[in-house]
Structure 1
């Protein structure tokens, strides 16, 4: 590849050797047809559960769509505004929840779509669909900004047709698309590796905690039988709280203070907001030691993480500090496998919640500390492998993002 930064004209920063012509600029509507689909009447059973794939925007995620969740019948297709689109059609989410709007996908199957999906069929003599897919992927934020302003920000067929796209001759488009497809395949493989490792860990953990799999001690002898306890025998359970938000002296201190939305990984260390010693003393928040298991118990139930340093939480937690002769990583993994034990004890009409007293009564069967430690170390080794594979995935995604920025205009 050559770097074109010192050259002038309508060319990208990074380019394959042998291509020197300037790129052409057109509106998408000049080089592609843009339409949308529809939804058959759900009240008519004969319109649904047929053999024709039907795509909704939830399936659009910078991906290639090979399977769908719902199918319609020929009768449903004939009696709605749904249309059958060919393999290779680009889909763009015109509206949808959260960050869905503006995402793109390509059909790897013949399928219909709902009305929230824009369907782009390129003139293949002018615009390679894979090249267009990568181009629109790169421009996600830009495309979202084109949305209609109003109560709900949407894209429309008119807006999509008006998107300006720069492109070279077909041979260069094909080379770019093929190159980026190789990276996409590597990313797909990496996601599959991570998925399989997650399934492996879940499967093995279930067998361990049901005692279908047992460890032996360092000389090959069986460990003693597991004992049934209540969680209150295994750990001390501590709630949280929120300092008054209008008192600035309670905030931006040195104490990490977590909310349930921050529990997204196995270990946490830095929170989005911090509180001061004064905020801790003048609220129901408690200082939790390093190694505490943070357990979400209000609205979001059963998410867990281990704190890597002293911290506090809001009232959406009941945190677990393990007692002597118990391993926190063992208990953490037990909670992940037995999340249903929490969910079935939930109360609350406004939002779901589980009380400290209910958590304390939960029964847990535990081995001796030595076997707990062996189990914890074994499951942690799988977690470390998963983390390594996620880091590889992150590097691949960064590489793809860089190339998209440099290889397109």
Structure 2
């Protein structure tokens, strides 16, 4: 009975997270479409840098720094980092190339990962992240190749971004970051329910 209740709660929680993501996406689209500004290339506002590959044998399942490569999740952990906290990364290769991530912790940027560095002072970093995230499907369309698709740096550099005043950038990013925080909190709650379910299942089979 308790397991059934937990399953229902997990399903509800997944729905809450999914709905919040759809809501954020719709709000972001509306905000950016109704904002006036200059259209610039990504290379006008930052330097796109490719990461450095780490030998798979050197990665561990836990560690001080996570390693971002072509996937949505870290490909492992490493004892060194080559990228500071609060850096935007874009997946360079693989099925999820074009995936945009805001990294709140220092990490190791691998060979299939781009990072955005030296962002111009007139650009709010979180605004740039939210804008690129709202354009993620367009960025993913830049991929070439079929076996192991990838996104060329030159194509990413030419990608257009909308730049408005710093004050407007900050208010848009503050609003969208609030929704992101809500999603993160709901996700943490989901993980707690999932751990509770695993615990119950283990107790049943002892």
| TM-score band w.r.t. shorter chain | 0.7 to 0.9
Task: Give the match for residue 98 of structure 2.
Answer: 302
Identify which range, 230-239 or 187-196, moves more after superposition.
187-196
Coordinate RMSD, CA, aligned = 2.9
| Deviation digits for residues 222-263 of structure 1 (CA, Å, limit 9, x no counterpart) | xxx3111111112111112225779x8xxxx987643223x3
More strand by share: 1
- The alpha carbon displacement at 1:207 in A equals 1.2
**Largest Rg, 1 or 2:** 1
Cα distance change of structure 1 residues 193 and 356 upon mapping to structure 2, 3 Å threshold: same
Query: What is the alpha-carbon distance in structure 2 between the residues aligned to residue 371 and residue 297 of structure 1?
Result: 30
Task: Give the match for residue 27 of structure 2.
Answer: 204
Cα distance change of structure 1 residues 394 and 229 upon mapping to structure 2, 3 Å threshold: same
* Matching residue within 11, 15, 18 for 1:192: 15
Task: Give the match for residue 136 of structure 2.
Answer: 339
Query: What is the alpha-carbon distance in structure 2 between the residues aligned to residue 403 and residue 312 of structure 1?
Result: 36
Contact 1:293 1:306 in 2 (8 A): yes
Query: What is the alpha-carbon distance in structure 1 between the residues aligned to residue 110 and residue 202 of structure 2?
Result: 41
* Matching residue within 31, 55, 77 for 1:272: 77
| Deviation digits for residues 155-211 of structure 1 (CA, Å, limit 9, x no counterpart) | xxxxxxxxxxxxxxxxxxxxxx3x432232222222222221111111111111222
Contact 1:238 1:319 in 2 (8 A): yes
Cα distance change of structure 1 residues 366 and 271 upon mapping to structure 2, 3 Å threshold: farther
| Structure with greater contact order relative to length (CA < 8 Å, sep ≥ 6) | 2
- The alpha carbon displacement at 1:408 in A equals 5.5
Q: TM-score, normalised by structure 1?
A: 0.44
* Matching residue within 217, 220, 233 for 2:44: 233
Query: What is the alpha-carbon distance in structure 2 between the residues aligned to residue 318 and residue 289 of structure 1?
Result: 13
Contact 2:89 2:115 in 1 (8 A): yes
Task: Give the match for residue 319 of structure 1.
Answer: 115
Aligned residue pairs total 200
Q: Which 5+ residue runs of structure 2 have no aligned equivalent?
A: none
Q: How does 1:10-409 map to 2 (within 5 A)?
A: 177=1, 179-211=2-34, 225-242=36-53, 257-261=67-71, 263-264=72-73, 272-275=77-80, 287-299=82-94, 300-321=96-117, 322-348=119-145, 350-407=147-204
Query: What is the alpha-carbon distance in structure 1 between the residues aligned to residue 65 and residue 205 of structure 2?
Result: 45
- The alpha carbon displacement at 1:383 in A equals 1.1
Cα distance change of structure 1 residues 239 and 408 upon mapping to structure 2, 3 Å threshold: closer
More helix by share: 2
Contact 1:236 1:323 in 2 (8 A): no
Q: Which 5+ residue runs of structure 1 have no aligned equivalent?
A: 1-176, 215-224, 277-286
Aligned structure 1 segments of 4 or more residues deviating by more than 6 angstroms: none
Task: Give the match for residue 85 of structure 1.
Answer: none
Query: What is the alpha-carbon distance in structure 2 between the residues aligned to residue 359 and residue 230 of structure 1?
Result: 9
Contact 2:78 2:108 in 1 (8 A): no
Query: What is the alpha-carbon distance in structure 1 between the residues aligned to residue 182 and residue 135 of structure 2?
Result: 23
Cα distance change of structure 1 residues 370 and 189 upon mapping to structure 2, 3 Å threshold: same
Q: TM-score, normalised by structure 2?
A: 0.82
Query: What is the alpha-carbon distance in structure 2 between the residues aligned to residue 344 and residue 405 of structure 1?
Result: 44
| Deviation digits for residues 119-147 of structure 1 (CA, Å, limit 9, x no counterpart) | xxxxxxxxxxxxxxxxxxxxxxxxxxxxx
| Deviation digits for residues 57-111 of structure 1 (CA, Å, limit 9, x no counterpart) | xxxxxxxxxxxxxxxxxxxxxxxxxxxxxxxxxxxxxxxxxxxxxxxxxxxxxxx
